[in-house]
Structure 1
Amino acid sequence: MPGQTPDPSAGSHAEPVPEPVPEPIPPPSSAGSRGGVLLRLVSAGLFVVMSLFVRLATVEAPIGQIVFYRSAFALLPIVAYLMWRRQFPRALKTRQPAGHLRRNLYGGAAMVLSFISLAYLPLALATALGFLAPLLAVPAAMLFLRERPGAVAIGAALAGFAGVVLMLAPAFEGPRLDHDTIIGVAAGLAMAVATAAGRVEIKTLTATEAPGTIAFYFAVICALGGLASWPFGWITPTGHSLAYLIGAGISGGLAHIAMTEAMARAPVSTQAPFDYTAMLWALMLDALIFGLLPSPVSLAGAFVIAASALVVPLAGRFGARSEALRPAS
């Protein structure tokens, strides 16, 4: 019968039995992948909404106070998510307290620098600078993780920095320097460096820590760091200011949950391209709420950065596929 195991006592004249071929690992279901992509799109949009609330809050509130509200109110959806996953309070146990401190040092610095960038730049340009983080992760991985990225990834990183030059070009036009643009871009560059360093630490943490644990401690430690700025002067938020501050925290926490659930439903390489829809969200919100668009040269630089960052995951995906299709020697 088909599939029956041959009799081992058969004579030498029996036909040779071919080696069994291991069954391939089934890919994620198409429904699960679609759900993962949808959640990734929601996550990208929520992160832009969070950035919008932060930018509106910077009109009155100091950066330290925004960090506190962004982190403290993010704990509400994060804890609710952990309870829904039946991981609370079990998820609060950690094997790497020092690793969390290092990750939060980089992540907290990245948050502060990101908020400074949002205070001085249009939403779309500040969002584009955030895409430098995966490009900076290329040299960071070479230095700290001993990885050897291909020529495509290295070329994409260089192209991304060319995009930064294009974004800066309008600041040097005219008789006076545009100090706001220079401060915003400088903060955005430093934010990308801190984010890339934080991603290296997250990669180390994920060996023993659940995503919810990493998110929880990030929110707690950043909230404490923001609270430490209280003696340096906080406003008494009311009305719109209070709504912006709370909205930044809730939307940031929901964005992280959506991203975590997306990663559980679809391969990262499938989701990565959809992160760059954040540029479209940012451009639309800039136009609808602030009535502005960046200059054509700055906009071109922003899209060069986004396209370069998109190349890195796609190059890895197609490289892995080509390697799998290559015949064995």
Structure 2
Amino acid sequence: MPGQTPEPSAGPQSVSPPEPLPESPPEPTPSGIRSGVLLRLVSAGLFVVMSLFVRLATVEAPIGQIVFYRSAFALPPIVAYLMWRRQFPSALKTRQPVGHLKRNLYGGAAMVLSFISLAYLPLALATALGFLAPLFAVPAAMLFLRERPGAVAIGAALTGFAGVVLMLAPAFEGPTLDRNTIIGVAAGLSMAVATAAGRVEIKTLTATEAPGTIAFYFALLCALGGLASLPFGWSTPTAHSLAFLVGAGVTGGLAHITMTEAMARAPVSTQAPFDYTAMLWALILDAAIFGLFPSPASLAGAFVIAASALVVPLAGRFTTRSEALRPAR
């Protein structure tokens, strides 16, 4: 097995030991998968709240300024998390600086594109477009992480995507599409691709990096990137706008911590269907804050999304019970 000391060879001659094989990531345990799924559900809800703050902030603030606040005010909860884990400042040492740069390239692009989508689309529609990322994440995890998701995980992701299609259908009714919808949908589709690539890079980083390390460098580098947009013009935020900007940062930091912890505990492909539960929160917030009520097709899509998120744990419980009842041979 990787990491074990090879047994000495028989015979008088000395043989040089073989090159050590690269260590494989440990197999996820059932308890680890359960905790990873729970953390992913919490992360999905926090990301929706963050998106709400971002959408409210876009009324006054430009995208670069929102990126700065979203990232800079995510740093305090991340540092507090590292201190609570007794990993500060030791966790700031990294063994994969290039990996962090790649992750920030994908994640930063996804953040900017997500904010553009939120600026032009309703919260539920922008969130629905983000759900293309889990669908892309399943084949990406198979190709780049050598994960082997079962038929249940693949089927649940595809079923959730069918629910997203149902929710998107009303937005494309009518003879023409308005300019805002075209810009928002294009940004959302591009964001989904960048997000899927970023998730694969996060999973790679978790082999050697602590979750807090990944979250810290993402927030730090994105804050610097947002600050670089200052010469292009920032607005002077009102009290309400400032609250939205700071709220986006704090909830974004907490969401990123829980997401990264989830990635370290469970396979990417297993977590993918649970992203869809965020749509339920987006529908509620759209109705409560903006007075936007879903169409029957959107409600049907939300039901399909929720059902797909329940498939994996129910199937896992059924499999466990079946194995327990199987007679020993």
Q: TM-score, normalised by structure 2?
A: 0.76
Distance 1:306 1:109 in 2: 28
Deviation at 1:300, TM superposition (A): 3.4
Whichever residue aligns with residue 76 of structure 2, its letter is L
Alignment of 1:136 with 2:136, yes or no, is yes
Residues 67, 222 of structure 2: 8 Å contact kept: yes
Question: What SS does the aligned partner of 2:236 have?
Answer: coil
Distance 1:163 1:259, change over 3 A: closer
**Residue 8 of structure 2 corresponds to which residue in structure 1?**
none
**Residue 317 of structure 1 corresponds to which residue in structure 2?**
316
Deviation at 1:309, TM superposition (A): 5.7
Whichever residue aligns with residue 284 of structure 2, its letter is M
Deviation at 1:215, TM superposition (A): 0.3
Residues 219-276 of structure 1: CA deviation (Å, up to 9, x unaligned): 0011111112222221121221111111110121233345567889999999987755
**Residue 293 of structure 1 corresponds to which residue in structure 2?**
293
Deviation at 1:322, TM superposition (A): 7.3
Whichever residue aligns with residue 248 of structure 2, its letter is A
Distance 1:157 1:226, change over 3 A: same
Q: Following superposition of structure 1 onto structure 2, how do residues 200-215 of structure 1 map, counting pairs within 5 Å? A: 200-215=200-215
**Residue 86 of structure 1 corresponds to which residue in structure 2?**
86
Gaps of 5+ in 1: 1-25
Residues 44-84 of structure 1: CA deviation (Å, up to 9, x unaligned): 43322211110000111111111110000100111122122
Distance 1:305 1:59, change over 3 A: same
Distance 1:44 1:152, change over 3 A: closer
Residues 91, 213 of structure 2: 8 Å contact kept: yes
Q: Following superposition of structure 1 onto structure 2, how do residues 163-312 of structure 1 map, counting pairs within 5 Å? A: 163-258=163-258, 276-305=276-305, 307-308=307-308, 311=311
Question: What SS does the aligned partner of 2:285 have?
Answer: helix
Distance 1:51 1:293, change over 3 A: same
Question: What SS does the aligned partner of 2:293 have?
Answer: coil
Residues 132, 305 of structure 1: 8 Å contact kept: no
Distance 1:189 1:157, change over 3 A: farther
Distance 2:72 2:141 in 1: 31
Deviation at 1:120, TM superposition (A): 2.1
Residues 45, 281 of structure 1: 8 Å contact kept: yes
Distance 2:181 2:243 in 1: 27
Q: Following superposition of structure 1 onto structure 2, how do residues 144-159 of structure 1 map, counting pairs within 5 Å? A: 144-159=144-159
**Residue 119 of structure 1 corresponds to which residue in structure 2?**
119
Gaps of 5+ in 2: 1-28
**Residue 46 of structure 1 corresponds to which residue in structure 2?**
46
Distance 1:186 1:230 in 2: 26
Residues 135-186 of structure 1: CA deviation (Å, up to 9, x unaligned): 2111112322334433444444444444444344334322332333333233
Deviation at 1:303, TM superposition (A): 4.7
Distance 2:201 2:269 in 1: 20
Q: Which moved more, 1:94-103 or 1:274-283?
A: 274-283
Distance 1:321 1:74 in 2: 39
Residues 160, 308 of structure 1: 8 Å contact kept: yes
Matched residue pairs, number? Answer: 299
RMSD in angstroms over aligned alpha carbons? 3.7
Q: Which moved more, 1:295-304 or 1:78-87?
A: 295-304
Whichever residue aligns with residue 53 of structure 1, its letter is F
Residues 50, 251 of structure 2: 8 Å contact kept: yes
Distance 1:83 1:169 in 2: 46
Distance 1:214 1:232 in 2: 29
Q: Following superposition of structure 1 onto structure 2, how do residues 6-85 of structure 1 map, counting pairs within 5 Å? A: 37=38, 42-85=42-85
Distance 2:171 2:159 in 1: 20
Q: Which moved more, 1:287-296 or 1:218-227?
A: 287-296
Residues 134, 309 of structure 1: 8 Å contact kept: no
Question: What SS does the aligned partner of 1:237 have?
Answer: coil
Deviation at 1:279, TM superposition (A): 2.7
Deviation at 1:328, TM superposition (A): 7.3
Residues 2-30 of structure 1: CA deviation (Å, up to 9, x unaligned): xxxxxxxxxxxxxxxxxxxxxxxx9869x
Deviation at 1:286, TM superposition (A): 1.2
Residues 53, 245 of structure 1: 8 Å contact kept: yes
Residues 269, 317 of structure 1: 8 Å contact kept: no
Residues 211, 257 of structure 2: 8 Å contact kept: no
